[in-house]
Amino acid sequence: MKPFRILFPTDRFSPHDRAVALVMWTVGVVQGFAQAQPASTLPFIRVALGLTEGEISALLAIARLLSLGAIVIAMVGDRRGRRLPLLGSYVLLVVATGATALIAGPLGFATTQGLVRIGTSAISALGVVWLAEQLSPAVRAYGVSLYGAAGSLGAGAAILALPLAERDWRLPYLLTLAGLALVPWLSKRVRESPLIASEPRVGRGARWAVGEAVGAVATEAGAIRFWIAGAAGLLASAFSAVGLAFSTERLVSSVGLTTASAVAVTLIGGTLGGVGFFIGGRMSDSWGRKPTTVLSLLMILSGGVALYQVEELPLLIAAIAVSSFGSFAYIPSAATHRAEMFPTRSRASVTSSLGWLGTLGSATGLAIGRFTIDGMGLSNTMNLLGVGVLIAAGLTLLLPETKGRILTA
């Protein structure tokens, strides 16, 4: 057992910890399947909509920008509780993904995927906050890693559904609607955060404008760390968004693999890198949030750049494995770090705002791709965006360490 100890948490999960982790693991599987659809089905959607690689990149950027609405949901979560906004975001995600199958053109695709982004961004923010406020400090990051691993499992299922997309790209989107069957079970298992229940509810009526939300978060105590963390997330996401969105396109259209081979390469590399969730969660709980995040960013960079340079199957698998390990380890360390840096009264709003800045980074990367991919090529675009990942690693070092912090109301 000792050689595999690094895959396990630093402490035992209590029955409550296990119950809480199971809820978000279940949500994470559905979320991962839904949000992975645009990337996994991109070659088929692009052809169906009659778009170039640059044009579909711009369309995906627009959809990501619409996720600004998730901040408003998070504000409700801070003022009225985590439970109902979290459940509502889950329903929005599933329904909007299914609705994508009904679209008839680029505008409809951008609209429904914008709603998907609102749902998934709100779930990510509120879900991590809900976990952080419920789990024991010694296993907090590892618990978040289980949620992230569930998202990866869902994304892997999306890859397995690619044969359906070959027949009709709409089928995987319709399949997501099965997630509605979980709503009754989730409504019983998602209990209000104990920190919210013990703190007087605050609020100013219905004044939940997006501008107010962003302004309140950005000017509170801790604003400097907010903007540092936001800049780091933005730069890292710009690189990752382009790398992820065009991974299937790269393997199928550039390298020349069949769809089945592309699925196999992606799943093998992703599975090998999947241990990053568990190792990253354990490292974050034992080693610290900052060093784990920095190491993760460097692995994302090296693997992501390599994926768009090499063509031999073993090297492609290795590149995906390294990049996936970094991405998976980054999720628990960075997400837990952000949740622990800010007080309960604004934790969901801050986390959602930081998530949106990451989404803005994704949109920025895809928007840059709109002008560089068709001219410079994918590999040079990835090299250009990779500089931002190095800057993000440096910015992370400026943030305070929060390992073991006790969260209070």
Please check the confidence at residue 272 and state whether its pLDDT lies above 60. Answer: yes
Please check the confidence at residue 202 and state whether its pLDDT lies above 60. Answer: no
- Angstrom distance (rounded) from CA 57 to CA 39: 10
8 A C-beta contact, residue 325 and residue 276? yes
8 A C-beta contact, residue 86 and residue 127? yes
Please check the confidence at residue 356 and state whether its pLDDT lies above 90. Answer: no
Burial class (CB in 10 A: 0-12, 13-18, 19+), 287: middle
In the CATH hierarchy, which top-level class contains the domain 13-198+208-396? mainly alpha
Tens-place pLDDT, residues 241-268: 888 878 888 888 888 888 888 888 988 9
Tens-place pLDDT, residues 102-134: 987 888 888 899 999 999 999 999 999 999 999
pLDDT at residue 206, as a whole number: 36
Highest mean pLDDT among 17-26, 50-59, 368-377: 17-26
- Angstrom distance (rounded) from CA 31 to CA 232: 24
> Position 111: which residue type?
T
Helix (H, G, I), strand (E, B) or coil at 343: coil
Confidence of residue 217 (pLDDT cuts 50, 70, 90): low
Sketch the domain layout of the chain as residue ranges: 13-198+208-396
pLDDT at residue 169, as a whole number: 87
Supply φ then ψ for residue 261, to 5 degrees. -65, -40
- Angstrom distance (rounded) from CA 382 to CA 256: 19
- Angstrom distance (rounded) from CA 26 to CA 351: 21
Please check the confidence at residue 203 and state whether its pLDDT lies above 70. Answer: no
- Angstrom distance (rounded) from CA 33 to CA 290: 29
